[in-house]
Amino acid sequence: MFELLFTSSRFMQRFTNSRNIIDVVSTPWNVEPGGDQLRTMTYTIILNNPLTGKSTAATEKQTLYKESREAQFYWVDSEVLAHDIPYHDYFYTLNRYYIIPSSKQKCRLRISTDLKYRKQPWAIVKSLIEKNSWSSLEDYFKQLESDLLMEESMLNQPIEDPGKLSGLRRRRRTFNRTAETVPKLSSQRSSGDGGVDAKGDITGKKKEVENWNTALVVVMSVFLLLLVLLNVTLFLKLSKIEYAAQSFYRLHLQEEKSLNLASDMVSRAEYSQKHKDQAHRLKGVLRDSIVMLEELKSSLIMLQRTFDLLNKNKTSMAVEN
């Protein structure tokens, strides 16, 4: 199983071709100073999503931990970083592989995956990243499971024809020659190898993320509707202020003309009283507008706090899981 997944085996070549992964270049397993072994892969992924472009370059760093024991237990972490998709510098994918033998001829493969963030994006951006990423990861590992089961059935087929047997042996010898050098591990398993924790499976996380996305969209829609209503009200208030100011200016000009033409008929006291009434009305309109602006400011602050709270709760829930 380890040779199938973590060397340049024919199985991985077929699998990457079926996933539209091309230009695969990998380094051999190199021993790090701490005892772990590192392997780096670069490749190009052909994409069908118009929002992310036609293709993206990707780098995958595979780490075989020193706790692994040859033919007994393998623990590999794979960090995948895509370089040409939107917000690629915000996150990467961490895939963890456990290979444990269950009998002499069989083993158990357990895979967990998670999204890791280098820096926190906005809530809307984060929901889009997680929705697209979890969908792609689920499709990737479902196909990997299907292809591994098919490979197992091919290897377990009963061979009746001696010619087929010799052909199978030739194919196996060819595979051994073309495969990469498998990293050398200790044959004894240490006593501290049993404390490895894995995260939940992909389907459960995807459903949880979708539920959060739905709740987030509903809350944001309500607040956006409130903001639209407040903006419309503010626009009407501002239009009222502008109309009042223009009316006041026109009346002021008319009163001045009237005073110049008929100063004997219109008293200064009446003009002063009208001027005070108009100023009082204008002051009331301005006061109402200031109140509306304060309400708009309060609603924006409340919207920001709500988004921060949702983001904090979602982050803490992901940590607990």
- pLDDT at residue 191 greater than cutoff 50: no
Q: Which of 299, 176, 168 is nearest to 233 (CA)?
A: 299
> Tens digit of pLDDT for each residue in 16-61?
999 999 999 999 999 999 999 999 999 999 987 766 778 899 999 9
- pLDDT at residue 158 greater than cutoff 80: no
Q: Which of 84, 80, 146 is nearest to 115 (CA)?
A: 80
Gyration radius of the chain's alpha carbons:
35
Name the band, by pLDDT with cuts 50, 70 and 90, for residue 262. low
Is 125 in contact with 87 (CB distance < 8 Å)? yes
Average pLDDT, whole number, for the chain? 76
Is 41 in contact with 23 (CB distance < 8 Å)? no
- pLDDT at residue 206 greater than cutoff 50: yes
Name the band, by pLDDT with cuts 50, 70 and 90, for residue 271. low
Give whole-number Cα distances, 256 to 260, 265, 272, 309, in Å: 6, 13, 12, 59
> Tens digit of pLDDT for each residue in 225-257?
777 787 777 777 777 777 777 777 777 677 666
Name the band, by pLDDT with cuts 50, 70 and 90, for residue 1. confident
Name the band, by pLDDT with cuts 50, 70 and 90, for residue 215. low
**Mean pLDDT score, 135-161:** 85
Give whole-number Cα distances, 175 to 12, 46, 181, 215, 286, in Å: 12, 27, 12, 51, 83
Name the band, by pLDDT with cuts 50, 70 and 90, for residue 172. very low
- pLDDT at residue 197 greater than cutoff 60: no
Residue 30 has, within 13 A of its CA and on its CB side, a CA count of 10
- pLDDT at residue 267 greater than cutoff 70: no
Q: CA 238 to CA 244: how far, in whole Å?
A: 10
Percent of the chain with pLDDT over 90: 31
- pLDDT at residue 223 greater than cutoff 60: yes
What's the confidence (pLDDT) of residue 193?
A: 42
Q: Show the tokens assigned to 280.
A: 């009082």
What's the confidence (pLDDT) of residue 11?
A: 93
What's the confidence (pLDDT) of residue 194?
A: 39
Highest mean pLDDT among 86-100, 151-165, 282-296 belongs to: 86-100
Name the band, by pLDDT with cuts 50, 70 and 90, for residue 190. very low
Name the band, by pLDDT with cuts 50, 70 and 90, for residue 259. low
β-strands 21-26, 37-46: how paired?
antiparallel
Least confident of 28-42, 119-133, 208-222, 262-276: 262-276
User: How many Cβ atoms are within 10 Å of 306's Cβ, its own excluded?
Assistant: 16
Highest mean pLDDT among 49-53, 88-92, 302-306 belongs to: 88-92
What's the confidence (pLDDT) of residue 6?
A: 93
Q: CA 3 to CA 71: how far, in whole Å?
A: 11
- pLDDT at residue 200 greater than cutoff 60: no
